[in-house]
Amino acid sequence: MKKVAISACLMGKKCRYDATDNHNATLMSKLEGYELISFCPEDHAFGSPRPTMDLVQTKEGQKAISNMTGEDLSAPVVQYARDFFDKHTDIDLFIGKDRSPSCGVCSAKLYDLKKNLISDKEAGLMAKEAKIRDITVIDAEVFVIQ
Ligand code: SF4
């Protein structure tokens, strides 16, 4: 059976910044028969609801910056991702919620320090960790239509 790591909000967990979900019935029906392992780095690190954050290009690389305080929130997200993939070493596929600064695979928005949009094709911090580990990754919106 294929093991799929999947953003928990897509499965219906109310772990978005506003304590809602992104439940996707079409996606879930396509995944019948797969073993699903859910994750949500932001809920784990900051709880739900929580202030939003953006992916920002800094001199030290791409960081998750709080839209409320300007604080760099990257460390707990990256640590969660590392711990998750250290624990689950046999993931066949990573399905991330498109456009999320944590989970988006090829769809996260990247801003400069003045909040100008640089790109809308980036990997969020957790998806980036999956890529580093050579796990096959895909945005949920792409998986649904393929
Ligand atoms: S996109 Fe990722 S970080 Fe955001 S709510 Fe869904 S699982 Fe959590």
Domain range summary for the chain, segments of one domain joined by +: 3-50+75-106+122-145
Q: What is the model's pTM?
A: 0.97
Question: What average pLDDT does range 123-141 have in this prediction?
Answer: 98
pLDDT at 1 over 90: no
| Integer Cα distance of 18 and 44 in angstroms | 14
Contacts of 92 (CB under 8 A, 6+ apart): 2, 3, 4, 135, 136
| Integer Cα distance of 64 and 73 in angstroms | 5
If 0-12 CB within 10 Å is exposed, 13-18 middle and 19+ buried, where does residue 128 land?
Answer: buried
Lookup: tokens for 3: 């093991």
- Quick: pLDDT tens for 12-64: 999 999 999 999 999 999 999 999 999 999 999 999 999 999 999 999 999 99
Of the candidates 139, 99, 89, which has an alpha carbon nearest to the alpha carbon of residue 119? 99
| Integer Cα distance of 142 and 87 in angstroms | 26
**Residue 1 Cα, ligand 1 centroid: separation in angstroms?**
25
| Integer Cα distance of 128 and 18 in angstroms | 24
Residue 24, ligand 1, Cβ within 6 A: no
- Given this model, what pLDDT does residue 126 score? 98
Residue 129, ligand 1, Cβ within 6 A: no
Of the candidates 26, 24, 25, 33, which has an alpha carbon nearest to the alpha carbon of residue 4? 33
Residue 103, ligand 1, Cβ within 6 A: yes
